[in-house]
Amino acid sequence: MNAATGRADMRTGWSPYAFVAPFVLVFLVFTAYPTLQSIALSVQQTYGPQASRYVGLQNFVGLAHDPLFWKALTNTAVFAAGSIFIQLPCSLGLALLLNKPQVRGRAFFRLVFFSPSLVGMIFVAVIFSLIFEKRTGLLNVLLHRAFGFDPEFPWLEDYVMPALIIAALWMYVGFNMVYFLAALQNVSPDLVDASRVDGAGVWHRFRHVTIPAIRPVGTFIVLLSLVGSFQLFELPYLLLGEGGGPNNRGLTLVMYLYQTGFETGDLGYASAIGWVIAMLLGAAAIMQRAVARGGER
Amino acid sequence: MSRVRRGLLIYLPLLLCSAVILLPLVYMLCASIKTNEEFFTSPFLPRGSGFLGIAWDHLTSVHYRRLFYDYAFGNNIINSCFLASATSILATLLTAMGGYALARFTFRGRSLLMGLVLGTLVLPNVLLLAPSYQLLYRLGLLDHYGGVILPLAAPAFGVYLFRQAFIAGLPRELLEAGRIDGCGEMRLFFSVALPMVRPMVGAFLLITYVGTWNNFIWPQIVLQTPEKMPLSVAIAQLRGVYFQDYGMMMAGTAVSVAPVLVLFLLLQREFIAGLTAGAVKS
């Protein structure tokens, strides 16, 4: 017995290290080190990847006085608000419809609604670059035929943010719907029946039975949307070009990060922008925890 | 009567939304098989006197042929397949082994490692763009596939997911039994532990495969040689050059998008399990 356990101990002695070593090696070099380096870079100014000089907090001071940064931040916030206040209610509505017990073909609808989120955003952008075209684009053609809408409607010139929100809505409405569907499984049918017996209306039941039950997952979906929205890049990059279209109307934070880091070559300023994004999302995550917990009281 | 009306109230919006969701994809396919002149005359298939009022004889495969003969798109497909396969297999292997060790062994530095993993989990990916680029420059990995693959090969969320999966799905007794039977640790992992979390392995392979296939910004930054580009970068470049050539752009997009959608049709349960794995735990 002693010999057997002794041998087993010896083998488990080195084996955990053998199992984690490949991951740890790659993780330390390509995730942990760059994370630390991004802090170091955020107090430097660089000219391409080689030359750099220490500038202290000047990057962050510069950001605070940089009108383009504020423009990018505002645009990103508008897009995030569109995702949360337009897209998520649509997702929830679809989930509520699909969750009705009498619905047939649920798997089919879920398949259809979910599929756009698997199309890479760069490919979505190429498709929508045609859809948003002025005279020939699908959107203007259909709107014109159905409602007599202006066929020259300049989506990609004057209505950049609505265009981005529409494309993202197409892409992610079903993705979020799947999350809401999972959350709706937490709604207790007994509670629904009880409230129906008590004569609660549809709205009342939604407000006091459904909402509290989906609250934890719901706040998580809001956070996920925020995280995604604040990293928006491919869609405006391809639809509007590097600067984000006329007057930088569609410039987002990550586009600005890309522009300063890889066009201008200042990896320091780009890292500072990266940290601003990280801080904003960190604050959002803390708020999410607080709100999600608030529901459990 | 009221049942019919209630049914209508449910199915009408669902069918309408399905149509709206499918429309852009149908539009893409239609544009890819008609001439650029006919692109302007009708939004979908060209009208004519054929079956269903569509001019079937006007349809063309010229865009697809040009894509492969003039633009060497086959090369980009191979690049995408290679990058996605290499990244997803490597990432699954590394994170599954790491998650296994974190879940089922006690060893020195375990809580430190767990802390590091959780710490980087909350940071957005874009934060690492600039420092990783500098690192790849110093390592001489710019314009190499290694420079695209390695930074994506050890995702913190993967280790976290596999750790949870092993904790939930792999009983300690099973490992003990295997050890008493004299099974080596490596064999124990591959033939006892890994099969117990097979759904997670499948889901993780899929989402990293598709994630890499669809990734644009990272290969765009790291790679410089046109011959090395995956589909995502190639299609953006194609649009820069041939932005008037609608048919070819849509043919290229259709070719890029089809493999992922077919994969999804075949394996949708694994996909949805993988993509919602994050939500269930929180």
Within B181-230, where are the H helices? 185-187, 194-196, 198-214, 217-222
- What is the mean pLDDT of the segment spanning B47-72? 80
Structural domains in chain A plus CATH codes: 2-58 (no CATH), 65-294 (1.10.3720.10)
A230 contact B CB<8A: yes
A190-216 b/e (C-beta count within 10 Å ≥ 16 → b): eeeeeeeeeebeeeebeeebbeebbbb
- What is the mean pLDDT of the segment spanning A49-68? 92
Q: With contact defined as beta carbons under 8 Å apart, do B245 and B36 qualify? A: yes
- What is the mean pLDDT of the segment spanning A186-200? 82
Q: With contact defined as beta carbons under 8 Å apart, do A95 and B14 qualify? A: no
Range in A69-73, A99-103, A114-118, B270-274 with the lowest mean pLDDT: B270-274
Query: Any idea how long chain B is?
Result: 282
pLDDT score recorded for residue A6: 39
pLDDT tens for A217-237 read: 899 999 999 999 999 999 999
Closest residue, chain A, to B10 (C-alpha): A97
Nearest to B21 among A23, A34, A174 (CB): A174
Chain A: closest CA distance from residue B51 (Å): 23
Range in A87-91, A148-152, B268-272 with the lowest mean pLDDT: B268-272
pLDDT score recorded for residue B83: 97
Q: With contact defined as beta carbons under 8 Å apart, do B147 and B218 qualify? A: no
B277 confidence band (pLDDT: 50, 70, 90): low
- C-alpha A261: how far from chain center: 22
pLDDT score recorded for residue A204: 85
**Interatomic CA distance for residues A138 and A132, integer angstroms:** 7
Structure tokens at A262: 């890889």
pLDDT score recorded for residue A85: 96
pLDDT, chain B, mean: 89
Taking Cα atoms as reference points, which of A31, A215, A179 lies closest to residue A91?
A179
Q: What is the DSSP letter of A268?
A: H
- Give the side-chain half-sphere CA count within 13 A for A24: 15
Taking Cα atoms as reference points, which of A280, A54, A263, A57 lies closest to residue B130?
A263
Residue B281 in this model has a pLDDT that exceeds 70? no
**Which residues on A lie below 8 Å from B216 (Cβ)?**
120-122, 233-234
Q: Where are the domains of chain B?
A: 2-60, 67-281
pLDDT tens for A236-285 read: 999 998 888 888 999 999 999 999 999 999 999 999 999 999 999 999 99
Binary contact (A94, B17; C-beta < 8 A): yes
| Fold of domain B67-281 | MetI-like fold (1.10.3720)
| Other beta carbons less than 10 A from residue B187's beta carbon | 12
pLDDT tens for B189-238 read: 999 999 999 889 998 999 899 999 999 999 999 999 999 999 999 999 98
- What is the mean pLDDT of the segment spanning B242-256? 89
Residue A295 in this model has a pLDDT that exceeds 70? no
pLDDT score recorded for residue A7: 41
Cβ contacts below 8 Å, chain A against chain B, sum to 271
Nearest to B154 among A17, A30, A281 (CB): A30
pLDDT score recorded for residue A145: 87
pLDDT score recorded for residue A5: 41
**Interatomic CA distance for residues B91 and B212, integer angstroms:** 11
Range in A29-33, A160-164, B2-6, B257-261 with the lowest mean pLDDT: B2-6
**Which residues on B lie below 8 Å from A24 (Cβ)?**
98, 113
pLDDT, chain A, mean: 89
pLDDT tens for A128-142 read: 999 998 888 889 888
Residue A70 in this model has a pLDDT that exceeds 90? yes
Binary contact (B98, A131; C-beta < 8 A): no
Residue type, B83: L
A9 confidence band (pLDDT: 50, 70, 90): very low
Range in A143-157, A254-268, B35-49, B246-260 with the lowest mean pLDDT: B35-49
Place of tokens 């299609």: B235
Residue B56 in this model has a pLDDT that exceeds 80? no
Q: Does the predicted interface ipTM exceed a cut of 0.90?
A: yes
- What is the mean pLDDT of the segment spanning B18-30? 94
Nearest to B256 among A23, A94, A123 (CB): A123
Q: What is the 3-state secondary structure (H, E, C) of B93-148?
A: HHHHHHHHHHHHCCCCCHHHHHHHHHHHHCCCHHHHHHHHHHHHHHHCCCCCHHHH
Chain B: closest CA distance from residue A274 (Å): 4
